[in-house]
Amino acid sequence: MTNVTDVTDLYQEFGDERLPPGQRETTAFPVLSKGETPDWDPEAWTFTVTGDVDEELALSWQEFRDLPAETQRQDFHCVTGWSKFDCEFTGVPVTELAERAGVSDDACHVLFSALDGYTTDLPLEDCLRDEVLFAWAFDGEDLPADHGGPLRVVTPHKYAYKGAKWVDGVEFLTEPELGYWERRGYSQTANPWREERYS
């Protein structure tokens, strides 16, 4: 059994309640996607780190899988009102890629891109946290395609729309850029304990 780091207590940073206000706990894992689950080709798949970095990166699926990985037990909060506790995600912390590329001092936001055209933006400091993972496994199995396989971002300190499924790139930015849901009125900061659902 791999080592599991439990980060389900991160809510203590924002208050006393593990379940954020206005959320209800579910044991199911609903699928929420703006459209169809995209196909991917392991031979052609390339993950890019671009923008305000010392060195842009392009990694093949194999190169990505060879990066140092970890497993974390995290909670998952969807802005539509459900929360799922104790999800075990395995993958590479965003900080690992940020270190390899070398983030410039003037970078302040991050934009994730995905195979279905989805994007989402996070302030840099909300992104460079140990709990933000590029995850390829859920509860010890390959991440199901509907849940973002081969690779997704998880953001247990934010509503889950900040975690791009089918992620294939991260761009470091010198100013914020609105992502798919942020352009449609959802919050830029998306803190579940402050109920930052809409902007």
Binding site for Mo ion (CB under 5 A): 32, 78-79, 161
3-class state of residue 124 by DSSP: helix
Question: Near ligand MTE by CB under 6 A, which window of 48-56, 90-98, 122-130, 156-164?
Answer: 156-164
34 sits near ligand MTE (criterion: CB under 6 A): yes
Task: Find how far residue 2's CA is from the centre of its chain.
Answer: 21
| Residue 113 bridge partners (DSSP) | 119, 169
* Residue 16 C-beta-side C-alpha neighbours within 13 Å: 0
Residue 34 touches which member of ligand MTE, Mo ion, none, C-beta under 5-8 Å by kind: ligand MTE
Per CB under 6 A, the list member of 47, 89, 161, 193 interacting with ligand MTE is 161
Q: Which of residues 78-117 bind ligand MTE (CB under 6 A)?
A: 78, 114, 116
Q: In the bound complex, what is the minimum distance in angstroms from residue 114's beta carbon to ligand MTE?
A: 3
Taking CB atoms, the residue at the shortest distance from ligand MTE is 118
- Residue with Cβ nearer ligand MTE (7 or 114): 114
Alpha helix segments (H runs only) across 28-154 = 61-65, 94-101, 124-127
Question: Near ligand MTE by CB under 6 A, which window of 4-12, 43-51, 99-107, 157-165?
Answer: 157-165
- Cβ atoms of residues 116 and 148 within 8 Å: no
**Residue that the structure tokens 């304990």 belong to:** 193
Question: Could you give the C-alpha distances from 138 to 29, 43, 142, 149, 159, in angstroms and in order?
Answer: 11, 23, 6, 10, 18
163 sits near ligand MTE (criterion: CB under 6 A): yes
What does the alpha-carbon distance between residue 91 and residue 65 come to, in Å, rounded to a whole number?
A: 8
Binding site for ligand MTE (CB under 6 A): 30-34, 78, 114, 116, 118, 147-148, 160-161, 163-166
